[in-house]
Amino acid sequence: MKVQEVLDSLAIRFPNEPEYLQAVEEVLSSIEDVYNQHPEFDRVNLIERLCIPDRIYSFRVNWVDDRGKVRTNMGYRIQHNNAIGPYKGGIRFHSSVNPSILKFLAFEQTFKNSLTTLPMGGGKGGSDFSPKGKSNEEIMRFCQAFVLELWRHIGPQRDVPAGDIGVGGREVNYMYGMYKKLAQENTGTFTGKSLEGGGSLIRPEATGYGNVYFLLKMLETRNVDIKGKVVAVSGSGNVAQYTVEKLIQLGAKVITMSDSNGYIYDPDGIDREKLDYIMELKNVWRGRIKEYAEKYNVKYVEGKRPWAEKCDIALPSATQNEINGKDAQMLVDNGCFAVSEGANMPSTPEAIAIFQSNGLLYAPGKAANAGGVSVSGLEMTQNSIKLGWSKEEVDTKLKQIMSDIHSQCVKYGKEESGYVNYVKGANIAGFMKVAKAMMDQGVI
Ligand code: NDP
Ligand code: 2IT
């Protein structure tokens, strides 16, 4: 396999899919050497079979808004690879959703899920529907209309969706409610459900907590204590909120959070009480982060991301490509020594190169944010055995999984100099398991 040839061919076939091509390039560059040590992989064209999704469903979604007007959106589900388990991955509702974004996410999810040590394949879905400004009833009708089309393609052994940007517990519950009515079964199928409706304890916290657990493992390799460290977090949704919660518990000082309009800078640090305010602001009132600055009288920077602020650690937790080369250089110049990705692909290739060439501890999303889908896997197990585990039990399992992922990254990513290239480690470890399963299962 020659990476450039594969990329050129994909770029000709999918010219309008920059995010997808970006994600593929990162993985292929890491695995090239290992892949080429296995001529049997190339004989069965494993690489193209792994880069191109098994199938893509796209459909129209009609729904009725509060004024009685019929609205139309696109819906998608990408079933990327199911060599090691049922397709598994979130649903994103955001105006920017398109096939390129969902294909990059489904591709990444395949390797992430492989790293979790649990039996889950990779998938992703979503819609260009924007939940912003919609009433609760509009959200419910949209979720129901979306599932009316999607339900026939999913199931507990087939494809298990969950949340992502714009899809939290409320949306998952509405989708699952409609799904079980149509499928006439009650076997789980969605993860991230409410506790009462079959969800798992710690699932809401899992991505953020998991990212911090992964960060702790990285810090341990350099004997650095998290206590008192200054942390810049982006986003203020599910992942960001529970990242900050765990950081506060551990005595770190979080100075920023953001949304798509701008960021707040709180030099005293966001404490428990202020985080409670953010959770209510974002999850109940569905307001803007700017209101935090007004309430606590701190700086608000409109239209910018928080990377110009001086910090020890940066945890991007909003969206893809939110740290570019310039941002990365600012972080490095200001003394930042660790970056761990809560979001999927938040750093551009230029940013990653800057982090790595400056020797930062840098963890890619597919390793660092795998805690969310891991606890989704644990939710599937609990649904199967029809039992619910305690908070402590799930949290202990989550910690163990993040530690195992860290070990896999070190095993495959440690360079001669001693520097751990977590990108390489995560990509090779994730790839090898899927590749072996695909080889065993023949050309299908
Ligand atoms: P939420 O919808 O709960 O929150 C998203 C946050 O990011 C909001 O603050 C939102 O601001 C901000 N944001 C979204 N899009 C943009 C944008 N284009 N530019 C700037 N800010 C933006 O989503 P999650 O917290 O669940 O997801 C955040 C990231 O984490 C995503 O990359 C997701 O793929 C990833 N992830 C999520 C997991 C999960 O379990 N939920 C698991 C693993 C990864 P605003 O409110 O203004 O839109
Ligand atoms: O990107 C992700 O890993 C998620 N959005 C969570 C997927 C899941 O199935 O829990």
Q: Report the pLDDT value the prediction gives residue 423, as an integer from 0 to 100.
A: 98
Indicate which ligand has the atom closest to the C-alpha of 115: 2
Give the model confidence (pLDDT) of 411-422 as tens digits.
999 999 999 999
Please report the atom of ligand 1 found closest to the CA of residue 236. 9
Distance CA 419, CA 361 (A): 9
pLDDT of residue 1 exceeding 90: no
Please report the atom of ligand 2 found closest to the CA of residue 113. 3
Q: Report the pLDDT value the prediction gives residue 135, as an integer from 0 to 100.
A: 98
Count of other CB atoms within 10 angstroms of residue 6? 17
Give the model confidence (pLDDT) of 202-219 as tens digits.
999 999 999 999 999 999
Distance CA 47, CA 51 (A): 6
As given in the structure block, the two tokens for residue 69 are 């007007």
E-only strand ranges, 240-346: 253-259, 262-265, 299-302, 313-315, 338-340
Give the model confidence (pLDDT) of 214-269 as tens digits.
999 999 999 999 999 999 999 999 999 999 999 999 999 999 999 999 999 999 99
pLDDT of residue 292 exceeding 90: yes
Measure Cα distances from 238 to 102, 369, 402 in Å.
Answer: 19, 12, 19
* Ligand 2 geometric centre to CA of 138 (Å): 24
Ligand 1: does its nearest atom lie under 6 Å from the Cβ of 317? yes
Distance CA 378, CA 386 (A): 12
Q: How many residues does the chain have?
A: 444
Q: Alpha helices, DSSP H only, in 94-135?
A: 99-115
Distance CA 90, CA 60 (A): 19
**Mean pLDDT of all residues in the chain?**
98
* Ligand 2 geometric centre to CA of 44 (Å): 30
Q: Report the pLDDT value the prediction gives residue 170, as an integer from 0 to 100.
A: 98
Measured by CA distance, the residue closest to atom 15 of ligand 1 is 319
308 close to 336: Cβ distance less than 8 angstroms: no
Ligand 1: does its nearest atom lie under 6 Å from the Cβ of 75? no
Q: Report the pLDDT value the prediction gives residue 268, as an integer from 0 to 100.
A: 98
Ligand 2 proximal residues by C-beta, below 6 Å: 88-90, 109, 112, 162, 164, 191, 344, 372-373, 376
The SS3 of residue 142 is helix
Ligand 1: does its nearest atom lie under 6 Å from the Cβ of 421? no
Catalytic residue at 274? Answer: no
Q: Please provide residue 409's backbone torsions phi and psi, each rounded to the nearest 5 degrees.
A: -65, -40
Indicate which ligand has the atom closest to the C-alpha of 285: 1
Count of other CB atoms within 10 angstroms of residue 381? 16
* Letter string b/e over residues 230-254, b meaning 16 or more CB atoms within 10 A of that residue's CB: bbbbbbbbbbbbbbbbbbbebebbb
Measured by CA distance, the residue closest to atom 10 of ligand 2 is 373
What is the β-pairing status of strands 313-315 and 299-302?
Answer: unpaired
Q: Which of 124, 229, 274, 424 is catalytic?
A: 124
Which residues, in sequence order, are bridge partners of residue 347?
Answer: 323
Indicate which ligand has the atom closest to the C-alpha of 96: 1
Answer whether 0.95 is exceeded by the pTM.
yes
